[in-house]
Chain A
């Protein structure tokens, strides 16, 4: 076998292999045939089609994609959407110099919310650095967002928002149950705690 033949065989294999990846895998999420990643391109396409069909719902799209990245976690999706909604409300109602206290969430969520909220400044500690939903709100903050069992937000000065709330328990990643969730469809646009008997600070304008 000549060097030329070997090279040509290699080239043919490279092209065939790139096509092989397009061979759909029926049970992708079960991952029995994960080694060769058969069907990976279809996986990407299906995510993109989902996004394309719902592009106007930016928060939902972000939540869905993040959930897919986090191992197809629908639980994470729903919670992340809720947090993003609160971040968007605070971002729109807050002023450039405002400070937001982020409580009761893991570092990765904390840092990403800091991006969505920028140029509003975020303070507080994530779980890994000893943060908790129960920590007192820092004096420099004008807003607070908690990512505990039930994500919520409030403007500092709404006295009722500081009342202890049944959802204010610390939860780490992956320990939530479906039954712990406030479904996004129920809480959208009305503020956290809806239907739970807790305070309902969402949607108020700041009284500066």
Chain B
């Protein structure tokens, strides 16, 4: 317990320092500050650990502790005298009915998150993907102090997906360094806290603009998504307690989408730097983080309005610098799997893929409408964007969010189009049909999860629910 608590405190403190010193101390309430602290802290700890490994220094308690301490000191010095940006007044409910609704939703959210955290604490790692990818890399870091060793370079370890970016493995190794003993139950217990951060960030982003009641609704919605809260499968590996990188990626995608929104809307002075950092963290978390860099860049270029080219492209440059410098360059020498999508981008694969379009479109529609995986999430998001459509012209930031989500889903559809994936089990199950149908079951829910929190927050803010609520006369200002 102590190892996990210490890790969380370290991440939170470091994240708060980044927020304060590098990002200009944005004016947010304490719940959002907590979520942002965790989000930025997880990313920063992971990046520092990867940097040590990149510099060929053995990663462990002493080296990482020194790096974290030094970074904290520098951030502390940099942040001296930084004035806090103005905090928008959070509008709180005026009537008893609204307070009741807020209380009910807050209770649902807290219960849901508490169960996820409890599950993560109780369960040892049990999901196949979590064990063979992220936890294997975490264990290699703990045992060897590096990810440049045999686990990454020996083709015999192909099943660990050697080229997959390992940021979450670096973060999860911290409790193990502290305890000095390998216990994957404690190590993997950090993963549910990414979901807690998602709920806190979603709450703050909405509450600042639309009031505490709607902010709480956003937090309730994301915290009760079955694939985050309680559904361990299918798809295998869902659930914030499953120690997989999909929910961490969803957190960074949400943060990056909101930073891009603020950049385009001109709401915060250092949103570009925050966007670059979060896109970089996302790309270092999972392969799917890299197409999101492209998706968000394209969306930025479409919606940038008066934003200069340089300001729109600088965050992408920072993200790619982080990715290539800390992992892309190093991992290019590691053995690649069959899932080499670049190698499939040729005429034949594309021609074959065109026949799959109806299959892919149907699968996306069916999965999004699957009540068991999503409740009514995607239908509700579509309705909220539809009713908010007229206002999107005035709100380029939300248009950007919508375009980025659609482009990211398009990238996933394209990956299904060209993939040559198969497996003996899929061939046995499908007996001649396209093994893609098995791949949908295994992956599509998790892919949709990457953009679900961002789509939910975007949908709420685009709809009339997201209009700044009038501050009733006599209501005291709070920051929450």
Contacts and interface: CB of A to CB of B under 8 A. Distances in A.
B346 to A, nearest CB: 28
A58 interface: yes
Nearest to A65: B126
Contact of B132 (A7, A36, A111, A123): A111
Given A37-B372, A43-B230, A65 B123 contact: yes
B108 A58 contact: no
Given A14-B221, A66-B126, A115-B135, A36 B371 contact: yes
B387 A21 contact: no
Contacts of A19: 108
Contact of A115 (B131, B156, B232, B464): B131
Nearest to A43: B230
Contact of B376 (A14, A40, A44): A14
A8 interface: yes
Interface string A7-25: 1101101110111010000
Contact of B231 (A15, A37, A52): A37
A206 B139 CA distance: 25
Contacts of B115: 41, 44-45, 48
B209 to A, nearest CB: 14
B198 to A, nearest CB: 15
Nearest to A55: B122
Interface in A153-168: none
B156 to A, nearest CB: 8
B136 A118 contact: yes
Interface residues of B, number: 55
A15 B108 contact: yes
Contacts of B371: 17, 35-37
Nearest to B108: A18
Contacts of A7: 384, 387-388, 463-465
A36 B384 contact: no
A189 interface: no
Given A18-B224, A65-B123, A44 B384 contact: no
Interface in A93-136: 107-108, 111-112, 114-115, 118-119, 121, 123, 128
A92 interface: no
Contact of B377 (A2, A14, A65): A14
Contacts of B335: none
Nearest to A59: B124
Given A6-B387, A48-B122, A115 B372 contact: no
Interface string B193-231: 000000000000000000000100100110010100111
A69 B424 contact: no
A14 B379 CA distance: 10
22 contacts: A3-B388, A4-B465, A7-B384, A13-B376, A14-B380, A15-B220, A17-B375, A36-B371, A41-B115, A41-B230, A47-B232, A51-B123, A52-B122, A55-B122, A62-B126, A65-B126, A108-B128, A112-B132, A114-B157, A115-B131, A115-B139, A128-B424
B465 A8 contact: yes
Contacts of A112: 128, 131-132
A48 B123 contact: yes
B53 to A, nearest CB: 17
A87 interface: no
Given A48-B123, A65-B126, A69-B127, A14 B375 contact: yes
B118 interface: yes
B233 A69 contact: yes
A65 B384 CA distance: 39
Contacts of A47: 123, 232
Given A14-B220, A18-B112, A36-B371, 5 more contacts: A2-B464, A10-B384, A48-B118, A58-B185, A107-B159
B140 interface: yes
B143 A118 contact: yes
* Highest count of chain A CB atoms <10 Å: which of B115, B127, B131: B131
B144 A13 contact: no
A116 to B, nearest CB: 8
A118 B464 contact: no
Contact of B119 (A14, A48, A119, A123): A48
B477 interface: no
A31 B347 CA distance: 44
A36 to B, nearest CB: 5
Contacts of A21: 224, 226, 230, 375
Contact of A40 (B119, B126, B226, B384): B226
